[in-house]
Amino acid sequence: MSGNEAQKAARKQILDLVADYYDKFLKVDNTGFEKGDRIPYSGRVFDEKEVKNLVDSSLDFWLTAGRYTDEFEERFGKLLGVKGVSLVNSGSSANLIAFMALTAPELGERRVKKGDEVITVACGFPTTISPIIQYGAVPVFVDVTIPQYNIDVTRLEEALSDKTKAVMIAHTLGNPFDLKAVRQFCDKHNLWLIEDNCDALGSEYEIDGETRFTGTWGDIGTSSFYPPHHITMGEGGCVYTNNGLLHRMVRSFRDWGRDCVCPPGKDNFCGHRFDGKFGDLPVGYDHKYVYSHLGYNLKATDMQAAVGCAQLDKLIPFANARRNNWAMLRKELESVNDLLILPEAAENSNPSWFGFIMCVKEKSGVSRNDITKALEANNIQTRLLFSGNILRHPCFAEYKESVDYRVVGSLEVTDRVMNNAFWVGVYPGMNEKKIEFMASVIRKALGRE
């Protein structure tokens, strides 16, 4: 047996043992439920394929981006219908890189400069707005609507100024924002659109008869692969676009700000490593160490990508399971819709729900905390809608004196969400008994059972 054959045989033996290990020690039965069992809002759902891929990658001991990264980016792009995909180490990094790509000088007059404005919302996760503030651009906060919990598109024109360069907003809990209105607004005023798709991978939206996945209607889309999300690789994220120039900017900012496009471990990919002239550098300065931007190193490892490759096969089944669980829970809670505002899908959308959000009505006679405490007392995880209103958090206090920002209107609905909204999970690890129990606890907390 040759050395190569022996290596293949050894690898197969190891991976067969890994599959056995999964069956004996890692496999989880999500079909049962007894009162008192923990019901998380989300979590990793996997089988032996993810574990085998992870070990297979580790046997290569190629610790940075490699063959699994290439496979993931190619397959992810084909699945979503995008040409340029860049794997990164988290969804937060994805948002950072997506925004920073818009600051590149190569974009000319459309470049976002310090002091330029970016329309967003205060009701959401902070890393959607952190890059805007940290760079020195000006966030312009617009209110949201209930029961979609997305940007109020009727306030977009009011938010516009001669400094506006972009819109950067998320699809809340898998429910797409009004992409048609936002896309038309951006096209009308020549603005960039970044879709924070971290909570909505697999959601679909239709505009004028064409249906696409969310994240692909904007100029740039971002995803997160943190364990609670639609697919996971532990930590990880992705930036994707159909704009070739933006893709090149994303890659540059992700990879230290390099001008060079050589993949990790490959030199002179372009064939002109030592014959270029860049800036004030001497002619022939090593192109691998020419920096066109002040960037970062935000690549993911190949071991993360290996897990993601196995998860990609499950994305559509996972999305369908989330839809079914959401529909089941909504039916169970229809009897208390006079006390709770139940969520509704955006028009022309097919959400891949991240969670099931509710807003307590004032006439219910109970508070949001009454319900969440009852749920947690029954071992059911709950979550609020992230920051609720980021402007009211301690982290924003230091910026109020030193950072420019604008608020459109009073953010009255945003504050209502902050005070009265909460959500529970509908992830694929749920089953009918768990959903029925969650609904029962909510009804009891409202005095209806």
One-letter amino acid for residue 17 of the chain: L
pLDDT at 402 over 80: no
pLDDT tens for each residue of 22-53? 999 999 999 999 999 999 999 999 999 999 99
Question: Helix/strand/coil (H, E, C) string of 192-248?
Answer: EEEEECCCCCCCEEEECCEEEECCCCCCEEEEECCCCCCCCCCCCEEEEECCHHHHH
Please state, in angstroms and rounded to a whole number, the distance separating the CA atoms of residues 118 and 192. Answer: 9
Please state, in angstroms and rounded to a whole number, the distance separating the CA atoms of residues 297 and 56. Answer: 25
CA-based nearest residue to 111, from 192, 215, 187, 221: 192
pLDDT at 188 over 80: yes
236 pLDDT band, cuts 50/70/90, is very high
pLDDT tens for each residue of 141-160? 999 999 999 999 999 999 99
449 pLDDT band, cuts 50/70/90, is confident
Q: Provide the 10 A C-beta neighbour count for residue 188.
A: 11
328 pLDDT band, cuts 50/70/90, is very high
pLDDT tens for each residue of 285-319? 999 999 999 999 999 999 999 999 999 999 999 99
Spatial contact of 7 and 60, defined as CB atoms under 8 Å apart: no
Q: Is 270 helix (H, G, I), strand (E, B) or coil?
A: coil
Half-sphere exposure of 48 (CA within 13 A, CB side): 12
Question: Crossing angle of helices 432-445/368-377, nearest 10°?
Answer: 140
Please report the pLDDT score of residue 37 as a whole number: 96
Please state, in angstroms and rounded to a whole number, the distance separating the CA atoms of residues 300 and 318. Answer: 23
Q: Which long-range contacts (CB under 8 A, 24 or more apart) does 153-158 make?
A: 153/177, 153/178, 153/181, 153/182, 153/185, 155/408, 155/409, 156/119, 156/181, 156/182, 156/185, 157/185, 158/408, 158/409
Q: What is the distance between the terminal CA atoms of the chain, rounded to a whole angstrom?
A: 70
203 pLDDT band, cuts 50/70/90, is very high
For 60, the token pair is 């290569």
Element (DSSP H or E) covering residue 17: helix 3-21
pLDDT tens for each residue of 249-286? 999 999 999 998 877 677 888 888 999 999 999 999 99
As a whole number, the mean pLDDT across the chain is: 96
Please state, in angstroms and rounded to a whole number, the distance separating the CA atoms of residues 87 and 299. Answer: 7
CA-based nearest residue to 127, from 298, 319, 312, 255: 298
Q: Is 272 one of the catalytic residues?
A: no
Please state, in angstroms and rounded to a whole number, the distance separating the CA atoms of residues 317 and 256. Answer: 36
Domains of the chain: 59-309 (3.40.640.10), 314-446 (3.90.1150.10)
Q: With pLDDT > 70 as the criterion, what percentage of the chain qualifies?
A: 100
Burial class (CB in 10 A: 0-12, 13-18, 19+), 4: exposed
Torsion of the alpha carbons at 225, 230, 233 and 235, rounded to the nearest 10: 30
347 pLDDT band, cuts 50/70/90, is very high
pLDDT at 403 over 90: no
Please report the pLDDT score of residue 375 as a whole number: 98
pLDDT tens for each residue of 116-130? 999 999 999 999 999
Please report the pLDDT score of residue 396 as a whole number: 86
Q: Which of 171, 189, 229, 230 is catalytic?
A: 229
Span of 32-36, 83-87, 174-178, 416-420 with lowest mean pLDDT: 32-36
- Strands in 220-224's sheet, in edge-to-edge order, are 84-88, 237-241, 220-224, 192-196, 164-170, 117-121, 138-142, 406-407
Please state, in angstroms and rounded to a whole number, the distance separating the CA atoms of residues 406 and 224. Answer: 28
pLDDT at 390 over 90: yes
